[in-house]
Amino acid sequence: MGDRFASIRIAAVQAAPAFLDREGSIDKACALIEEAGRHGADIVGFPENFVPGHPVWFYYHAATSTAAQRFNLELFKNAVEVPSGEIDRVAQAAMRAGVNVVLGMTERRPNTTGTLYNTQLFLGRDGTVRGHHRKLVPTVGERLVHCPGEADRQGAAIFDVGPVSGLICGENSNPLAIAALSCAYPYVHVASWPNHFIPDWCGMQETSLLASRNVAYMNKCYVISACGTNSPEMLEALPRDDADRAFLADPRTSGGSAIVDPLGTVVAGPIDGDREEILYVDTDPDLMLRGRMVHDFVGHYNRPDIFSLEVTTTARPIVRFRAPDEPDVALAPPATRLGGTGAPAIGAEPATLAGGSAGVLAAASET
């Protein structure tokens, strides 16, 4: 008989947030999770910064302008802390729907008033946080509001269906980041993308699909490529002139969500940016196995005597308080643990299940 590798149903969300409205965006995320559950999804992936929206205003407004600073404040006030009641709500939706979730969001460092991150949060359908990735290098305008992610927020999350990796926007073009995730042998990778790219740049639909196909073929896994769209509120709030309005209203400049199989074939989508939709695909695990029998870039199809990659997974805090004859105490965000001794699977720090004051941060089992 041999081993059996189960097929799973994966889902890619294409949707716009309730722009700079945390509660409204959480409401919409929960509704989309429950819709995916009704369609039998095992994993659903969301766009970049779905809660409460991506800082695209820097494409249209100078960083020091009154308009940009107003948007910045709204982003901070509507960012999400982990743990929090908002994360509890998403976790409860995942449990009700029976779906594993990879949610893109702007995260605020807990109990502080100064630092934001561009984050993918991995929530299991059992209501636990399974992974917590912060974008390592914010891109263009993101650098004005997002802090670089720490070294200890890397790796694949372990869900009940197997390892699932994720990268955010331009990270999906970083060959070293992709190589680091390969050693987890992910079954599925979630590539999260914003509402649109810079107007005078490559098209998001074409580029996101190119990068996602590359990740799928290199890692020999399924890729959920989840792209955002522009909401009516964004079309009203963002543009300065008619050229901006025309760009934002063009369905070819946003969206493009798709699902790609382990051989690099597009098996669902892409979707134009003029509609919101969830794509679904039932995976064929034999494609993953066949692909890795040909190319296993962290195994038989490489030369460690020639090529090697060292990945640092220890965060370095900015401030340490040290007293004589006492261990030093670091002022830094809580570190995540790396599960196991080989593949960099991320687990979260222990806390309580949904409904508790500490939020949903029950740890994934260490492997």
Q: Which amino acid is at 226?
A: A
91 found inside a domain: yes
Residues in Cβ contact with 341 at an 8 Å cutoff, skipping those fewer than 6 apart? none
Percent of the chain at pLDDT exceeding 70: 89
Distance CA 178, CA 302 (A): 15
CATH number, domain of 189, equals: 3.60.110.10
- Share above pLDDT 90 across residues of the chain, in percent, rounded to a whole number: 84
Is there a domain that residue 358 lies in?
no
Mean pLDDT of all residues belonging to the chain: 90
Residue listed under structure tokens 């630092």? 115
pLDDT exceeds 60 at position 361: no
Which residue segment(s) compose the domain that 71 sits in?
Answer: 9-294
Which secondary-structure segment (H or E) carries 89? helix 85-97
**Average pLDDT for 13-39:** 98
Lowest mean pLDDT segment, chosen from 152-166, 184-198, 334-348: 334-348
Predicted confidence at residue 200, as pLDDT, reads 86
Helix (H, G, I), strand (E, B), or coil: what is residue 176? helix
Looking at residues 321-330, what average pLDDT do you find?
A: 75
**313-340 average pLDDT score:** 67
For residues 108 and 319, the model is more confident at 108
**Residue 328 confidence (pLDDT):** 66
Sign, CA dihedral 217-261-151-366, equals negative
**Residue 329 banded pLDDT, cuts 50, 70, 90:** low
Distance (Å, whole) CA 288 – CA 109 = 37
Mean pLDDT of 106-112: 95
Cβ burial, residue 255 (10 Å; 0-12/13-18/19+): buried
The mean per-residue pLDDT over the stretch 160-171 comes to 97
The answer to which of 152-156, 163-167, 272-276, 347-351 has the lowest mean pLDDT is 347-351
Query: Does some domain include residue 78?
Result: yes
pLDDT tens digits for range 27-81 = 999 999 999 999 999 999 999 999 999 999 999 999 999 999 999 999 999 999 9
Question: Is pLDDT at 335 greater than 50 in this prediction?
Answer: no
Q: Can you tell me the mean pLDDT for 307-323?
A: 90
Report the distance separating Cα 257 and Cα 209, nearest Å.
8
Q: What's the pLDDT at 325? A: 77
pLDDT at 330: 64
The CA-atom distances, in angstroms, between 54 and each of 30, 240, 310 are 19, 18, 31
Determine the average pLDDT of the residues in 182-206: 95
Collect all residues with Cβ–Cβ distance below 8 Å to 366 and sequence separation of at least 6. Answer: 337, 339, 340, 347
DSSP assignments along 262-295, one per residue: TTS-EEE---BTT--EEEEEE--HHHHHHHHHH-
Catalytic residues: 48, 135, 169
**222-254 tens-digit pLDDT:** 999 999 999 999 999 999 999 999 999 999 999
In a domain, 303, yes or no: no
Could you tell me the pLDDT band of residue 343, with boundaries at 50, 70 and 90?
Answer: very low
Please name which of 360, 362, 364 lies closest in space to residue 83, comparing C-alpha atoms: 360
Alpha-carbon span 208 to 175, nearest angstrom? 15
353 within some domain: no
In a domain, 320, yes or no: no
| Total of domains in the chain | 1
pLDDT for residue 366 is more than 80: no
Cβ contact 170:215 at 8 Å: no
Residue of higher predicted confidence among 367 and 24: 24
Stretch 320-327: mean pLDDT, rounded?
80
> Domain for residue 212, yes or no?
yes
Residue 336 lies in a domain: no
The pLDDT of 105-130, averaged and rounded, is 97
First-to-last C-alpha distance (Å) of the chain: 26
